[in-house]
C-alpha cells in the first residue's frame, strides 16, 4: 500500500484535475447555448430552401440543375470531413473517423478517395490513411457564412471541372448535449427528386423563369447546406465536450473519495500501531 504522503499527493492532484474539468465543462456549456441557438434557427431555413429547390426542379427537365446535377460515372470521390481542432470531447472525432472508413469500405472500396478536412483532428488521424488535398483548420476561429461560402465555391469548382465525380459531406449532427449522430450527405451532384415523392403543386407566376431561379438557387443552397453541416458539427462538439468533462469530473470525484477512504484507513492503522507501540513500551518499563 502507498504511504500517507503518496496518497495525499494523489488526492491533491485529482482535486486539481477536478477543477480543470469542471471549468472546461462550464465553458463548453456557455458556448453550447450560443451554438445550439444558431443551428436551431438555421435548420428551418435550410430545409425550406431545399424543399423549394426540389419543388422547382421537379417541374423542369431532368437536367434542370445544370452542371451541378450532372450524373457521372464515379471513379474519384472527395470526402469533406468535419471534425474539431481540439480534443477532450469523448468519441466526437473518433466516430467521424470510423464513419469515413466504414463508408469508403462499403461504397467506394474500388474508387479513388481523397479528403478535404475541416478541423485538425480529422487531418491528423485520417491523413495517415487517405490523401488530404486541402485542410481548413481556421474556419472555427471565426465561423460565419462568408468563410464557409468560400469553401463551398471551391468544392463546386472542383466538381464542375471534373476533378471529382462525387463529393460527400461527413459530420456530426447535433441532437442534444449527450447525443451526436454521424451523418454522410451527398453534396454534389445534386440528388434528383426521388420517384413517388409528393411535390407541392402551386399556381405561381415565376419572374424570371423557373430555370433561371433554379440555377440561381443551387449555389446558395449548396453553400447553406455546407454551412448548416459545419454549424451542426460545431454545436455537437461543444455538447460532446461538456458531456465528456461532466463525466470526467464525476469520475475524478469518485476516485478522490476512494483515495480519501484509503487515506483515512491507512492513517487510522498508523495511529493504532503507534498506540500499541507506546503501550508495549510502557508495559516493558513497568516489568
Can you give the residue ranges of every domain in the chain?
4-20+247-286, 30-193+202-244
What does residue 170 show for φ and ψ, rounded to 5 degrees? -130, 120
Q: 178 CB contacts (<8 Å, ≥6 apart)?
A: 239, 243
161: number of Cβ within 10 Å: 9
C-alpha cell at 5: 504522503
pLDDT of 280: 82
Q: Where are the alpha helices (H) located in the chain, listed in sequence order? A: 4-58, 92-107, 120-126, 145-160, 210-286
* 14, 179 contact by CB (below 8 A): no
Give one word for 88, left, alpha or beta, with left for phi > 0 and alpha for psi -120 to 50.
left
Task: Please give the radius of gyration of the chain, using alpha carbons only, rounded to the nearest integer.
Answer: 29
Q: How far is it, in rounded angstroms, from Cα 201 to Cα 191?
A: 20
Q: How confident is the model at residue 278 (pLDDT cuts 50, 70, 90)?
A: confident
Chain segment 183-206, per-residue pLDDT in tens? 999 998 887 666 555 555 556 677
Q: How confident is the model at residue 2 (pLDDT cuts 50, 70, 90)?
A: low
Chain segment 156-179, per-residue pLDDT in tens? 999 999 999 999 999 999 998 889
* 100, 132 contact by CB (below 8 A): no
pLDDT of 216: 82
Which residues are paired to 131 by β-bridges?
114
Q: 56 CB contacts (<8 Å, ≥6 apart)?
A: 64, 210, 213, 214, 217
pLDDT of 35: 92
Q: Choose the most confident range, by mean pLDDT, from 111-115, 207-211, 271-275.
A: 111-115
| Strand arrangement of the beta sheet that strand 166-176 belongs to | 131-135, 112-118, 76-82, 166-176, 179-188
- Give, as one character, the DSSP assignment of residue 69: G
Q: CA neighbours within 13 Å on the CB side: how many for 26?
A: 5
Averaged pLDDT score across all residues of the chain: 88
Which residues are known catalytic residues? 89
pLDDT of 62: 54
| Number of residues assigned to the chain | 287
Chain segment 95-152, per-residue pLDDT in tens? 999 999 999 999 999 999 999 999 999 999 999 999 999 999 999 988 999 999 999 9
DSSP-derived pairing of the beta strands 112-118 and 76-82: parallel
Architecture of domain 4-20+247-286: Orthogonal Bundle (1.10)
* Mean per-residue pLDDT, 225-236: 95
User: What's the N-to-C CA distance of the chain in angstroms?
Assistant: 35
* Mean per-residue pLDDT, 233-261: 94
pLDDT of 194: 62
Superfamily, domain 30-193+202-244:
ATP synthase, F1 complex, gamma subunit (3.40.1380.10)
Amino acid at each position: 500500500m502507498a504511504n500517507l504522503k503518496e496518497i495525499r499527493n494523489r488526492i491533491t492532484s485529482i482535486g486539481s484535475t477536478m477543477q480543470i474539468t469542471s471549468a472546461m465543462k462550464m465553458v463548453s456549456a456557455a458556448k453550447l447555448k450560443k451554438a445550439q441557438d444558431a443551428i436551431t434557427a438555421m435548420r428551418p431555413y435550410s430545409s425550406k430552401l431545399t424543399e423549394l429547390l426540389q419543388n422547382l426542379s421537379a417541374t423542369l427537365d431532368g437536367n434542370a440543375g445544370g452542371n451541378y446535377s450532372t450524373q457521372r460515372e464515379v471513379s474519384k470521390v472527395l470526402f469533406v470531413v468535419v471534425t474539431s481542432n481540439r480534443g477532450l470531447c469523448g468519441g466526437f472525432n473518433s466516430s467521424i473517423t470510423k464513419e469515413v472508413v466504414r463508408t469508403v469500405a462499403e461504397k467506394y472500396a474500388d474508387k479513388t478517395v481523397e479528403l478535404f478536412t475541416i478541423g485538425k483532428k480529422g487531418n491528423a488521424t485520417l491523413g495517415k490513411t487517405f490523401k488530404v488535398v486541402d485542410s481548413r483548420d481556421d474556419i472555427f476561429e471565426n465561423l460565419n457564412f462568408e468563410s464557409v461560402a468560400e469553401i463551398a465555391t471551391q468544392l463546386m469548382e472542383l466538381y464542375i471541372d471534373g476533378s471529382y465525380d462525387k463529393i460527400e459531406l461527413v459530420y456530426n449532427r447535433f441532437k442534444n448535449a449527450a447525443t451526436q449522430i454521424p451523418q454522410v450527405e451527398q453534396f454534389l451532384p445534386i440528388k434528383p427528386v426521388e420517384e413517388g415523392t409528393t411535390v407541392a403543386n402551386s399556381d405561381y407566376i415565376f419572374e424570371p423563369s423557373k430555370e433561371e431561379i433554379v440555377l440561381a438557387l443551387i449555389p446558395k443552397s449548396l453553400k447553406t447546406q455546407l454551412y448548416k453541416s459545419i454549424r451542426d458539427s460545431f454545436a455537437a462538439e461543444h455538447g460532446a465536450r461538456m458531456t465528456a468533462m461532466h463525466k470526467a469530473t464525476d469520475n475524478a470525484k469518485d476516485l478522490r473519495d476512494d483515495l480519501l477512504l484509503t487515506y483515512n484507513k491507512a492513517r487510522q492503522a498508523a495511529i493504532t500501531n503507534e498506540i500499541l507501540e507506546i503501550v508495549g513500551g510502557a508495559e516493558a518499563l513497568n516489568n
